[in-house]
Structure 1
Amino acid sequence: MGLTGCSEDNNMKPFSDNQTPPGQVTNIQMKPGAGSVDISYTLPDDKDLLYVKAVYTLQSGKQREVRASYYTNSMTLDGFFDTEEHEVKIYSYNKSEVASDPVTIQVQPKESPIWAVRRSMELRADFMGVKIIAENEEKADLAIQVFYKDSLDKWANMEGIYTKTVDINQTLRGLDTLTYEVGAVIRDKFQNYTDTIFAQISPYFETDLEKSKYRDGRLPGDTPERGGSEGIAKLWDGNTTAAQRYMTAQPEDGSPSSCTIDIGQTAQLSRLKFWTYPEWMASGPWPYYFRGTPRIIEVWGSQNPNPDGSWDSSWYLLSRYEVIKPSGLPYGQMSDEDKRYAEAGFNVELDPLAPRTKYIRLKQILNWEGTTWLDLTEIQVYGDNRKQN
């Protein structure tokens, strides 16, 4: 089979040369949505019809075009900022790119999703940062810009949040334990912005607990390693992206797997962060949220565990954590946001009212393949290890 190339002048010509404009769409029906309007219509009886195009102006002043092929009789007009009426012109095009006269309609969308997110948003103090909580029921593609007043009383930007997830719950760190005025603005992909939400916060102290002090705290009853595991010390070698990792065997009775770590210091723990490695797939991208990586995991703490390994009163629950894919996609699939979320590491918030802790015990309740063996690449424990008065 041979291949044909383009001519040197690379002139792109229409499919045909029909200068007769096609007919207009008729019987237009409208259904308003959040920041959008769904329209349906009857196509013109024109064998040379190629597509239908709607043209309208966004709040930013930019003209937006939405196209639908002749295989369908509907389209979604999106990107609206308010609930006012907006003029839309609808054209039919034939295969020679000749347009019909426009049909002009008035559409009235419902409120843009950014406003519901804005009303639900809270800015709270967190450990060395600000926590952003909001609901995004429409799964709108959002950017949240957060900023704070610095020591010079000037506004400084923090890292942005880019998400389509329903339950927004993220912390941006890098602040001190001072009192800050913080603010946030929500933007969608059409450059629509909310007004600013402001709050005053005083972040809590934490520090990353030095990994050089971590030790294997294996106790009777902890799960043995499986073949291919690189040893539990792999969890604190500082490498969050290496293929080498720590893995337990699968308990024969299907019970949770566990491992114990002596963090080498007594501290009031605030959170544990863990990283996983994406499973190798010959057929395509390497997915996170796969096989033995945690889906539901518990973190337990102890100051002085029973040496027989019993899950007795010497242990107290610090957290039961479920990993949620931002996209909600099925097993083995992930979005770009899912990938970014996993690469950044999973933050497990620990009970701030629990006793000071020297040992942590990870208890894998459920992994992504539906069993209980554990597969981790790296951990970092955070807390307050300052001496008590």
Structure 2
Amino acid sequence: MHLQHIIQQMAFFAAVIVCLHACSKAKDYNEPISGDKTKPGVVTNIRVANFNGGSYITYDLPKSGNVLYVKAEYVINGQTGKKRQTKSSYYSDSITVEGFAEKKEYEVKLTTVTRSNVESDAVTVKVFPDTPVYRLVAKTIRIQPDFGGLNVQTTNVNKKPVGAIVLYKPEGADKYAIYEQRFSDFESMGFSTRGFDTLPKQFAVYITDQWGNNSDTVYQTIRPLFEKELDKSKFFGNELPSDGKIGFGWSLSNLWNGNTGGTGWHTVQQNVPLPIVCTFGLGVSAKLSRFVLFGRSGYEYAHGNPKVFSIWGSDNPAPADAVLPVFAEEGTVLGDWVNMGNYQWPGPPSGAPPTAPTATDRAFFNKGMEFNVPFTAPRTRFIRLAVSESWSGATFAHAMEITFYGNTN
């Protein structure tokens, strides 16, 4: 036991020495390693490859042994004079410069910097970036009336981060102000801005990027479409053979009884294939705009509350059953049914894990979650709510209330 104790002590002190050595190395890394104040040579053999909004610059490093990095300094916007600086370590033979506002020639100054923070003479390189992504996306802006507002669509084939900024000028106002902002790197970005009556409104949209470049603004007068809440007294259950079996004395009609507490729709807790589905009629043919879904309180981000789900619709007066897939693209037609939208309930807004939501997260959850129905979705008389994944991953589902909005004219 004595020998084992000695061995344990030796191992402990060895670990301490290694730690101190590592800490010393980490500290030294942030301090000048070299006292050599010699001015370094410049980069040579420079080659340029341009891309949308930027350029790759490749070079040969000087023979100096104490070069730490290469620095690029350049103006990205000639109108504003905005500058950027990019660095690349001595392990690399290239540097990327990006964020340029236009497709034109720009100058980039390259400087080598030593471990003693001594800079070389600057070498000027001319680059000619291709059309920036934000300008390409701006050419695809499509604005059209939507329920209670407008719908904006853009295409981003490069899948680079951009923002779509919606401006609104109220009647009698002197200028436009930002009303909504959406950011995405998806190939297609589409969203609706709502909250307006049906009188003509003045809107505008422009595209921005992460470097603060802004496109030309597209102006358009929009007459928002009429929207109202659908009358729930006309809803009725329309159970189909592939629907989930309801259990615990709950009822499908609880989904539209106006009560977000108490009991709702709840399927049996059995090992059954996904998705878990329920089917009901709206009592009218409607062009839907959006819906609000309420989960089960007390089980926020847990149990059988829907996490990933889809809405299927049919305008057939008596739609036949169809076994729905776990996932299908929007617009997919399956028998009498069409996929009208795929959805995911967002996680706790605080960033906390779903298993430990904060009180604020729970309150946010229990307000219900609003989801937009794609503007391209057809009219429908019947709805199928298909839950592909619950927050617990179980093969049952529950929800308390669903409210639809749209136009029945």
The question of a shared fold, defined as TM-score above 0.5 by the shorter chain, is answered with: yes
Q: After superposition, what is the alpha-carbon deviation per residue over 1:310-357, rounded to whole angstroms, capped at 9, x for unaligned?
A: 56xxx96464334599xxxxxxxxxxxxxxxxx9754223777636x4
| Equivalences for residues 160-179 of structure 1 within 5 A | 160-179=181-200
**Residue type matched to 2:132 in 1?**
S
Amino acid at match of 1:381: F
Question: For residue 96 of structure 1, what is the aligned residue in structure 2?
Answer: 116
Residues 215-263 of structure 1: per-residue CA shift (max 9 Å, x gap): 7836252212599x99985798898xx9x99775799784754203466
Aligned to 1:383: 406
Does the Cα contact within 8 Å between 1:254 and 1:372 map onto a contact in 2? no
Residues 85/245 of structure 1: CA separation in 2 closer, same or farther (3 Å cut)? farther
The equivalent position to 1:126 in structure 2, one of 141, 146, 151, is: 146
Match in the other structure for 2:286: 268
CA contact (8 A) 2:312 2:385 kept: yes
Q: Deviations over 1:235-294 (max 9, x none)?
A: 98898xx9x99775799784754203466x7563413436699xxxxxxxx99xxx9743
Q: TM-score, normalised by structure 2?
A: 0.67
Q: How far 1:153 sits from its partner (Å)?
A: 4.6
Q: Which residue of 2 aligns with 1:258?
A: 277
Q: Deviations over 1:15-47 (max 9, x none)?
A: 433211222211111111101111111122233
- Which residue does the alignment assign to 2:133? 113
The alpha-carbon distance between structure 1 residues 81 and 251, as it changes in their structure 2 partners (threshold 3 A), is: farther
What pairs with 1:285-296 in structure 2 (closer than 5 Å)? 293-294=307-308
Q: What letter is aligned with 2:379?
A: A
The answer to whether 1:360 aligns with 2:390 is no
Determine which structure has the larger helix proportion and give its number.
2
The question of 1:147 aligning with 2:167 is answered: yes
**RMSD across aligned positions (CA):** 4.5
2:244 pairs with one of 209, 218, 223: 223
**Correspondences of 1:1-389 after superposition (within 5 Å):** 1=16, 13-59=31-77, 60-154=80-174, 155-209=176-230, 217=237, 219=239, 221=241, 222-224=243-245, 233=254, 254=273, 257-261=276-280, 266=284, 268-273=286-291, 293-294=307-308, 297-300=311-314, 317=337, 319-322=339-342, 345-349=370-374, 354=379, 357=381, 360-363=383-386, 379-384=402-407
Higher CA-based Rg: 2
Residue 74 of structure 1 and its aligned partner are, at CA, apart by 1.5
Code of the residue aligned with 1:26 in structure 2: it is T
Q: 1:20, 1:238 → 2: CA distance? A: 78
Structure 2 Cα separation of the partners of residues 94 and 166 of structure 1: 42
Query: Does structure 1 conserve the Cα–Cα contact (< 8 Å) formed by 2:254 and 2:264?
Result: no
* Distance in 1 (alpha carbons) for counterparts of 2:259 and 2:42: 64
- Separation of aligned partners in 2, 1:193 and 1:236: 48
Q: CA deviation at 1:126?
A: 0.6
In the TM superposition, residue 181 of structure 1 has moved relative to its aligned partner by 2.5
- Residues 117, 71 of structure 1: alpha-carbon distance in 2 compared, 3 angstrom cutoff: same
Distance 1:18 1:159 in 2: 54
TM-score computed with the length of structure 1 as normaliser:
0.70
Point out where structure 2 has 5 or more consecutive residues left out of the alignment. 1-15, 25-29, 296-300, 323-334, 346-367
Which AA in structure 2 matches 1:206?
E
SS class of match (2:138): helix
Residue 97 of structure 1 deviates from its aligned partner by 1.7
Give the whole-Å Cα distance in 2 for the aligned partners of 1:130 and 1:111. 28
Question: Deviation of residue 148 (structure 1)?
Answer: 2.5
Deviations for 1:140-182, whole angstroms, at most 9, x for unmatched residues?
A: 3222221233221543431111222210111111121111222
Counterparts of 2:204 and 2:138, CA distance in 1: 12
Do the aligned partners of 2:267 and 2:398 also contact (CA within 8 Å) in 1?
no
Letter in 1 for 2:313: V
3-state SS of the aligned residue for 2:180?
coil
User: How far off its partner does 1:139 sit?
Assistant: 2.1
SS of structure 2 residue aligned to 1:117: helix
CA, structure 1 residues 173+43, in 2 after alignment: closer, same or farther (shift >3 Å)? same
The answer as to whether partners of 2:309 and 2:385 remain within 8 angstroms in 1 is no
CA distance in structure 2 between the aligned counterparts of 1:110 and 1:70, rounded to whole angstroms: 27
Could you tell me how far 1:125 is from its partner in structure 2?
A: 0.5
Task: Count the aligned residue pairs.
Answer: 337
